[in-house]
Chains A and B, each alone.
Chain A
Amino acid sequence: MDVLTLSRLQFAVATLFHFLFVPLTLGLSVLVAIMETKWVRTGDETYRRMAKFWGKLFLINFALGVVTGLTLEFQFGTNWSRYSMYVGDVFGSLLAIEAAVTFFLESTFVAVWFFGWNRISPKLHCVSMWLIAIAANLSAFWILVANAWMQHPVGYVIRNGRAELTDFWAVISQKFAILEFIHTIGGAYILAGFFVLGISSWHLLKLQNVEFFTRSFKIAIAFTLIFSIFEIAQGHMNAEILQETQPTKLAAMEAHWETRPRAPLYLLLWPRLDGEMNAIEALPVPGMLSLLATYSTQSVIKGLKEWPAELRPPVLPCFLSFRFMVGMGFLFAGLSIFGFYVRNNLLAYPWFLKTLVFAIPLPYLTNEAGWILAELGRQPWIVYGVMKTKDAVSFVSTAQVFTSLIGFIVLYGLLGFADFMLLFKFARKGPQK
């Protein structure tokens, strides 16, 4: 394998692994802050124990999110130096702002929260948790603005042999960035919601700490219901903007080959690995794809054949990850609606509680699928329409990248295993008396 392939693999490993921990940080910080606020408002000890129990799981997860985040900042320089040189003027500043504005706040107040139970007033302690939640979510904003710029670059000009910033406001306020941010946050909140629902259900099935976990369940189900329904409506907007900004990604995820008006949506579809066509195409809904992408059944949707093969993203993984994500999105909404409906009588539905326990990993896979689609669907570009991935890689040796890749796989494998084992251990143990 060459340096490019190895570097891409390494980036995929580092990023996908990092994103196993980020969504829970984003969502659970908000949930713990809500629990602690209830404690400060009502003085009810159960809420304090809830903040402590879920907060402990939050911290175990947070630690791995932090250390794996370091890798990402290093990687742009170590493996993608030509990218960094070419677009650092725009992209680098977004990363620096993320660190200066949000990481300081997040890391400093995580310590205040953890060590501060007996040192500061409950109010200030609760404010610390909100600061952590706000900082975490703001950091997501900055990094997603940076990613959105790679997906749909705006506010720059090519000058002095590189991309230079001309309009900072355009970069941070563009529609693509806002939609990507909201969509990622929504996905993260669903994951955190199902995490709390699943663990609560496990304890409820065992009839342990019933009051404690019923309350946790109720907070999480309201949260999950709101965001899982929101995510479907909002996700539709994300697909719609692709029509204008990244037609190749849209065509690949729909396995849509021929440019045509009244593009149908096939209920049964499977793209071929070789050749420019689908292996299975059945049960068309006429004009549906056009309708979904543009609000008109008549509009023309560009097919993959519009572009030469080397400018198309890999179709099958985009197609699959998209369908998986959408299917799961509907499943989450369904489970949330049912859960909300039976929230006052949970113990009467043991099969449902069991389902929720097994559902814990699904939002994780869904979040990852979303990123696979976002990043693979952008290929062969690293910055869409501006720079190709193959032109972005560093001049380093195959041996160097091969060694570090193996290092990442081994290290991350062990750390990930240990982290999930600890989460499992403390989730099972339940709250302190």
Chain B
Amino acid sequence: METIWFFLWALLWTIYFMLDGYDLGIGSLLPFFSKNENERRVMINAMGPFWDGNEVWLVTAGGVTFAAFPKTYAVLFSTLYTPLMILLFALILRGISFEFRGKIDDRRWRRLWDGCLTLGSIVPGFLFGVTFGNLFQGIPIDESGILRGDFFTLLSPYALLSGVLFVFLFVVHGALWLAVMTDEEMHERSLSAARGAWPALVSVLVTFLVSSALTTDLYQNAINRPVLFLFPVLSVVALIATRTFIGMRKPVQAFASSAIVILGTGMFGFTGLYPNMLLSSLNPQFSLTAFNSASSALTLKIMLGITLVVIPIVIAYQSWVHVLFGKKIRLEELKEGESY
């Protein structure tokens, strides 16, 4: 049961990164990509109907961490207090930007919220990477789950690398979603932005996979069970596929491939971590695992029933929404209909 929950937990986080990844990516690109107010509105409306639904995956992933592994939730959130507070403030500013930005017709007002949207997208992408980098590598927690160190302890080179990786994953993912949602000139530029960022992503991802071998135990499970090499391989293959589809000018397929890159990378990390959830770099005995931090059998059973019923329904109606609103944005429509 604990094992099932570990993988459900991993899957929920990975789905979150696959979905919110593209809107965090578009938000990160906002000032660097857009040339005028119209283009900014296209970019914001390209994620407008989706971002909030995507972010609920974070709330659910967090909630499930609390429900299924309360001890991991408690130790993780309190030891990473400062980065998580920064993450929270960034997400608050981002979320409110969508609603506030267009409500007052003033250039400075819009500039302000554009800035919040950008910061609120880059910072969370980076900090999620730092957080999971710390999870994969381990942090100095003692037997009571108290951090023996400070904020800077959490900024190891590997964690920083992981942060950069997340930002690049999201930027490519976001550029490709933008290509799906736009046509003509913006469509072309979105594709070339993804093409331009691709080599950087390749180098960061390869560095990450190599340094994971050098500084973490993430490959240990795969060495014992070679089938798990599927995930890092999947990630690399999908990355190549992404580039191929960009070259073939097929944005939907390229976007799907970049989602698989995120899936492969995430699952590589999580399968490598199993059964640990929060590694102690002081003493492996202090580590929190799926077994020593799980909830009672009854809670896990009830939660499993609810999750298995509800999550497929959520996926169904969120897919419907993506089909309903996943159409090329036209400027005239933005001016007439309801939009941000």
Residues of A with Cβ closer than 8 Å to B? 59-60, 63-64, 66-71, 73-74, 76-79, 81-82, 84-85, 87-93, 95-101, 103-105, 107-108, 110-112, 114-120, 159-160, 162, 164-166, 168, 394-396, 400, 403-404, 407, 411, 415, 418-419, 422, 425-426
Give B235 Cβ to nearest chain A Cβ, in Å. Answer: 27
Task: Determine which of A71, A95, A120, A162 lies in contact with B324 in the assembled complex, contact meaning CB atoms within 8 Å.
Answer: A120
Give B218 Cβ to nearest chain A Cβ, in Å. Answer: 24
Whether the pair A407, B67 counts as a contact (CB closer than 8 A) is no
Whether the pair A395, B63 counts as a contact (CB closer than 8 A) is no
**CB-defined contacts of B75 to chain A, threshold 8 Å:** 81, 85
| A84 CA to B145 CA, complexed, in Å | 13
Whether the pair B318, A108 counts as a contact (CB closer than 8 A) is yes
| Closest chain B residue, CB of each to CB of A107 | B52
Q: Is residue B115 contacting chain A, with contact meaning CB distance below 8 A?
A: no
| A294 CA to B102 CA, complexed, in Å | 55
**CB-defined contacts of A78 to chain B, threshold 8 Å:** 77-78, 81, 84-85
Whether the pair B338, A115 counts as a contact (CB closer than 8 A) is yes
Whether the pair B295, A100 counts as a contact (CB closer than 8 A) is no
Q: Is residue B96 contacting chain A, with contact meaning CB distance below 8 A?
A: yes
- Per-residue contact bits, chain B 88-128, to A (CB 8 Å; 1 contact, 0 not): 11011101101110011000000000000000000000000
**CB-defined contacts of A419 to chain B, threshold 8 Å:** 96, 100
| Closest chain B residue, CB of each to CB of A101 | B310
| A209 CA to B144 CA, complexed, in Å | 64
Whether the pair A396, B78 counts as a contact (CB closer than 8 A) is yes
Whether the pair A164, B296 counts as a contact (CB closer than 8 A) is yes
Whether the pair A97, B306 counts as a contact (CB closer than 8 A) is yes
Q: Is residue B64 contacting chain A, with contact meaning CB distance below 8 A?
A: yes
**CB-defined contacts of A108 to chain B, threshold 8 Å:** 52-53, 56, 314, 317-318, 321
Whether the pair B81, A415 counts as a contact (CB closer than 8 A) is no
Which 10 A-B pairs rank lowest in CB-CB distance, beginning with the nearest?
A88-B70, A77-B77, A92-B66, A96-B63, A63-B99, A81-B74, A96-B67, A81-B78, A92-B67, A84-B74
Whether the pair A96, B66 counts as a contact (CB closer than 8 A) is yes
Task: Determine which of B63, B103, B104, B324 lies in contact with A99 in the assembled complex, contact meaning CB atoms within 8 Å.
Answer: B63
Whether the pair B81, A400 counts as a contact (CB closer than 8 A) is yes
Whether the pair B306, A107 counts as a contact (CB closer than 8 A) is no
Whether the pair B71, A85 counts as a contact (CB closer than 8 A) is yes
Task: Determine which of B70, B89, B95, B306 lies in contact with A100 in the assembled complex, contact meaning CB atoms within 8 Å.
Answer: B306
Q: Is residue B245 contacting chain A, with contact meaning CB distance below 8 A?
A: no
| A224 CA to B50 CA, complexed, in Å | 34
| A222 CA to B219 CA, complexed, in Å | 65
Whether the pair B78, A111 counts as a contact (CB closer than 8 A) is no
Residues of B with Cβ closer than 8 Å to A? 48-50, 52-53, 55-56, 59-60, 62-64, 66-68, 70-71, 73-78, 81-82, 84-85, 88-89, 91-93, 95-96, 98-100, 103-104, 144-146, 295-296, 298-299, 302-303, 306-307, 310-311, 314, 317-318, 321, 324-325, 337-339
| A100 CA to B67 CA, complexed, in Å | 12
Whether the pair B98, A63 counts as a contact (CB closer than 8 A) is yes
Whether the pair B324, A112 counts as a contact (CB closer than 8 A) is yes
Whether the pair B81, A100 counts as a contact (CB closer than 8 A) is no
Give B86 Cβ to nearest chain A Cβ, in Å. Answer: 9
Say what secondary structure dominates the interface of chain A. helix
Whether the pair A104, B71 counts as a contact (CB closer than 8 A) is no
Give A25 Cβ to nearest chain B Cβ, in Å. Answer: 13
**CB-defined contacts of B77 to chain A, threshold 8 Å:** 74, 76-78, 81, 84
Most chain A beta-carbon contacts within 10 A, residue among B73, B93, B99, B310:
B99
Task: Determine which of B53, B100, B295, B296 lies in contact with A107 in the assembled complex, contact meaning CB atoms within 8 Å.
Answer: B53
Whether the pair A165, B296 counts as a contact (CB closer than 8 A) is yes
**CB-defined contacts of B339 to chain A, threshold 8 Å:** 115
Beyond A73-B62, A103-B56, A404-B81, 10 extra complex contacts between A and B, CB < 8 Å: A69-B59, A77-B78, A88-B295, A89-B70, A89-B299, A96-B303, A103-B60, A107-B52, A164-B296, A422-B100
| Closest chain A residue, CB of each to CB of B103 | A422
Task: Determine which of A90, A95, A111, A119 lies in contact with B299 in the assembled complex, contact meaning CB atoms within 8 Å.
Answer: A90
| A375 CA to B250 CA, complexed, in Å | 56
Task: Determine which of B49, B59, B307 lies in contact with A103 in the assembled complex, contact meaning CB atoms within 8 Å.
Answer: B59
| A364 CA to B265 CA, complexed, in Å | 47
**CB-defined contacts of A74 to chain B, threshold 8 Å:** 62, 77, 84-85, 88
**CB-defined contacts of A117 to chain B, threshold 8 Å:** 337-338
Whether the pair A104, B314 counts as a contact (CB closer than 8 A) is yes
Most chain B beta-carbon contacts within 10 A, residue among A73, A164, A415:
A73
Give B240 Cβ to nearest chain A Cβ, in Å. Answer: 33
| Closest chain B residue, CB of each to CB of A116 | B324
